[in-house]
Amino acid sequence: MIQIAERYLDKIKTCRIHDLIRELAIKKARALEFLDVYDGKVNLSYSSTSWTRRQVIPSGNMKYVSLVHFYPRLRSLLFFNPDRESINIKHLQTLCSSLRFLRVLDLEDTRIEHSGKVLRLTDSIGKLIHLRYFGFKCNSLVEFPRSIGNLQCLKTMVASGNSCWKLPSQISKLHQLRHLIARPLGHLQVSTLTNLQTLKYVNFQQWDAVDARNLINLQELEIREIPYTNMNFILQVNSLRSLTLQTDTAFNTLLPLSRCPNLIKLKLEGKINILPRSSDEFPPNLSVLVLYGSLLKEDSIPILEMLPSLTILHLGNDSFSGKKMVFSMAGFPQLQVLRLSWLRLLETLVVESGAMPRLKYFSIEDCNNQLMVPERLRMLPLPQEFYNVS
């Protein structure tokens, strides 16, 4: 009744459960006073809600906001909004003013009504001094108030959707911040955040202004709009385990990446002019490689298949511009997942005996309709439910 929905490497990311199991879990959680799921009923009493520390709102956002005074000791508040209901910016102010003990606030896909093109969050968000997690999904520009500097306990900020965040300089005061996953606008003052572990969706101009030598715990980094091809800037961070780089020009060399001993996941979006000629010129412990738009030639596959630790390879969006792709004997000794997508010029796929001996999952999407896939690959299951490497 409990199934794995998605894996990442060897870790379980999401699972799915039967409806009966879900109802049983909610009933048990309520009995233990662990959490409550708001069902849209308005008739509440203080005795029935005073114990609530964790609240899930699957629908009925507007009704719930008018009842927040029933939950004075709430610690976690999660919105799931399948009906696309909205709340007014004043309602958000009510939430922040009434729920002073919140540790977790996740406004998943909750639309906030506002005038103009910019959503200016209320100053009252600075009253949530115990907040550790803030998640928000919207499709507009979000401007944070300076009072965000009061959130000294904040560890995670996540923006999903297409929203951009305009963060004030006071973000530099959030010394406990570990994960900043957002599309920030303007100057990004994170040089003082020595506990930062994840920084995603920043552009190169923002990154170039950061004193990366202070980010001694940074493990996951994504930089976009790189204007030139010199990668030496990445050598300022020695702790990286996951790196995503995007350019509209080209990567002339990947050689600086060989000096990143802890890097295990690498995603490159953009043309690669010169691929390293040996596995020694790649990160020594690389296990996940995702390439988009690389325009690699046919002689690149013999180089990639020498990578001794590579377990996942995704070639997408014209990352391979040759007509024939050959996986040779003993090549890719550790590869478990192979994904090919949008390789429009590929005509022939050859898998020699003994190639990819550990391969478990294979998928091919939106490639040449005339492409013949070897039977060995056709028999393998698809990787979508097992690995998310995009």
Domain edges within the chain? 1-32
pLDDT of residue 91: 80
Return the SS3 of 30.
helix
Cα 386 to Cα 209: distance, rounded to the nearest angstrom:
38
Instruction: Give the max Cα distance, the chain.
Output: 71
Residue 242 C-alpha from the chain's centroid = 11
| φ, ψ (nearest 5 deg) of residue 367 | -100, -175
* Secondary structure letter of residue 17 according to DSSP: E
What does pLDDT average to over the chain?
88
pLDDT digits (tens, 9 = 90+) for 53-78: 888 887 666 666 666 666 778 899 98
Confidence of residue 312 (pLDDT cuts 50, 70, 90): very high
Residues 6 or more apart whose Cβ sits within 8 Å of residue 373:
349, 364
Closest CA to 390 of 319, 296, 300: 319
- Residue 97 reports pLDDT greater than 60: yes
Residues 6 or more apart whose Cβ sits within 8 Å of residue 345:
318, 320, 321, 322, 323, 368
Return the SS3 of 150.
helix
- Residue 165 reports pLDDT greater than 50: yes
Within 10 angstroms of residue 35's Cβ, the number of other Cβ atoms is: 17
Q: Which residues pair with 371 in a beta bridge?
A: none
Confidence of residue 204 (pLDDT cuts 50, 70, 90): very high
Return the SS3 of 351.
strand
Least confident of 81-95, 181-195, 295-309: 81-95
- Residue 211 reports pLDDT greater than 80: yes
Return the SS3 of 127.
helix
Q: In this prediction, what percent of the chain has a pLDDT beyond 70?
A: 89
Cα 38 to Cα 58: distance, rounded to the nearest angstrom:
7
Closest CA to 57 of 21, 109, 16, 98: 109
**Mean of the pLDDT values across residues 357-366?**
94
User: What kind and span of H or E run contains 362?
Assistant: strand 361-365
Question: Which position has the higher pLDDT, 46 or 365?
Answer: 365
- Residue 47 reports pLDDT greater than 50: no
Residue pair 198/179 in contact by the 8 Å Cβ criterion: yes
Question: Which position has the higher pLDDT, 205 or 51?
Answer: 205
pLDDT digits (tens, 9 = 90+) for 220-260: 999 999 987 678 888 889 899 999 999 999 998 899 999 99
Residue pair 92/74 in contact by the 8 Å Cβ criterion: no
Within 10 angstroms of residue 148's Cβ, the number of other Cβ atoms is: 22
